[in-house]
Structure 1
């Protein structure tokens, strides 16, 4: 698999540059861009695994989520610049659904096929549950409800205020987990894997992460320009492209890494990637995009459509009910995947 990724990266990156300069058919380039991003995500996953061995599961998972979401942030900024507000909001929805249902679901399912039971920190699970409810059920629902009796200016001001609060609380959550309460809530699986040797040194892993992220950013920017042509060719709506396509491709790094970690029974890292990435999207990426949109002609309020909102709330509640016991198996993974498929069909038919 590593050799295949190497070949795809070696061919995909130059083809992405050449195809864009020579204006090759956008539908063909869409496939090239997607495959290249997924291959680059493989390298990001290996680099993150090395860092997780050196720095521990929390820091490793946080780094993976950050670098993975940096890709989506860049895609969304270019989409905002192009005025594609609907695609950006849909991709944020897709990230939440993809991480909680697809990434976590595949991780639990693949890991569960190898191990009868897989355990992870129940303390982290309960801590993340509260933040998920706050970020999605509270911070995303309030603008939706209050905006019904507000004009566009007041709705945007409300979104800005909520965005600032979300960013501050997210930074406080990182400070809580990594500084003031680091090591306070230990789980027996936190000690596992400490004798394992990292594939790459910390410096090499960080360098590969940075290079891969830079390459993904370039390819992702090109990918945005193919959405309209691909949508017309396959009959995909703007909502479906954002929720399913952009979210899956933009979060390819997390998908690959979390599944690899779960297969190796490193569930703390896998859960930190899936849930931690969701929290980062909801509490940092989304509010940052609201603030960045102020620099463009078309501003983005933090107001989702009703199907997007209901889907995210459902995903949060289902994930909390499954992960709160700190224990999982393949059937729980299959349940999350089934929920993702149901929502995917719904967004396709909208």
Structure 2
């Protein structure tokens, strides 16, 4: 599989440059850009996996989520520059749904097919549940309710205030998990799992590949954003569907692959940290950061979602919490998460 992605990168990056210079068909370029970003994301995933072996499951999962979300952050910044606020908000919704339902669902399902019962750190699961409740249900629902009785200026001011609070709390959560309470809530499985697996790449090589892949993704993402309008008109896709499904899947390809791979190796602490940790990072850091960055562009982005987006995210949070709060999972629970994702996908397609 690694050779296939290598060929895709070697072909995709030059074709992306050539297509943008020669103005090839937007639909053709949309396909090239998407496949190239997915291939580049696989290298980012392999690099962070190598770093995870050295740094441990928590930091490894955090690194994987961070660099996976970096792809979406880059795509969203270029989309904001083009004034595609609805696409950005939809892609944030898609990331929350994709990580909680698609990534976690596939990880639980495929891991559960191989192992009848898989366990992970229940303390982390419960800690993350509280943060998910806060990030999505409190920080996303409250602005929606208050914005109904506010003008645009006050809505932006509210969004800025909420965004700053979210970023501060997210940094405090990292400080809690990685500094003040590091090692306090370690499960027996984590201690057993600490085998001497050899990383694929050295630390320097992994960091170098991460840096190069991120630069390449930034270039390709700018071209991808310019194809949205033409692709939407050609296929009859709404901006909502493009953001929730297409951009979210492409932008989060790195953690999709990594979480599934970890689950297949029965490393559920890393898999769950990628899926849930990535969701928290999107909701508590990426989304508020985009609100603040949007102030630099012509059209600022409020932290206000549509009702279908909001209801879908709240539903996904409740379902993920109910399934993961006991610290163990199986293939049927994974299938339940996947079923919820496909139901929501059909709904967004038909909107």
Per-residue CA shift, 1:28-85, capped at 9, x if unaligned?
1111111111111211121121111100001011011111111111111111111111
Residue 290 of structure 1 corresponds to which residue in structure 2?
Answer: 291
Per-residue CA shift, 1:275-328, capped at 9, x if unaligned?
000000000000011111111111111000000000000000000000001101
Residue 221 of structure 1 corresponds to which residue in structure 2?
Answer: 222
TM-score by length of 2: 0.98
Alpha-carbon separation, structure 2, partners of 1:152 and 1:328: 44
Alpha-carbon contact 1:163-1:288 (below 8 Å) kept: yes
Alpha-carbon separation, structure 1, partners of 2:243 and 2:107: 23
Structure 2, gaps ≥5 residues long:
none
Structure 1, gaps ≥5 residues long:
none
Alpha-carbon separation, structure 2, partners of 1:63 and 1:35: 23
Residue 61 of structure 1 corresponds to which residue in structure 2?
Answer: 61
1:202 offset after TM fit, Å?
1.5
Large movers: runs of 4+ above 6 Å: none
Residue 321 of structure 2 corresponds to which residue in structure 1?
Answer: 320
Residue 180 of structure 1 corresponds to which residue in structure 2?
Answer: 180
RMSD over aligned CA atoms reads 0.8
Alpha-carbon separation, structure 2, partners of 1:302 and 1:235: 27
Alpha-carbon separation, structure 1, partners of 2:143 and 2:348: 22
1:193 offset after TM fit, Å?
4.0
1:189 offset after TM fit, Å?
2.1
Alpha-carbon separation, structure 1, partners of 2:151 and 2:41: 42
Q: How do 1:1-350 residues align onto structure 2 when only pairs under 5 Å count?
A: 1-191=1-191, 192-350=193-351
Alpha-carbon separation, structure 2, partners of 1:300 and 1:142: 16
Report SS of the residue matched to 1:225. Answer: helix
Moved more, 206-215 or 161-170: 206-215
Report SS of the residue matched to 2:148. Answer: helix
Alpha-carbon separation, structure 1, partners of 2:258 and 2:37: 14
Report SS of the residue matched to 1:236. Answer: coil
Moved more, 303-312 or 207-216: 207-216
1:194 offset after TM fit, Å?
2.6
TM-score by length of 1: 0.99
Alpha-carbon contact 1:53-1:194 (below 8 Å) kept: no
Moved more, 201-210 or 68-77: 201-210
1:105 offset after TM fit, Å?
0.5
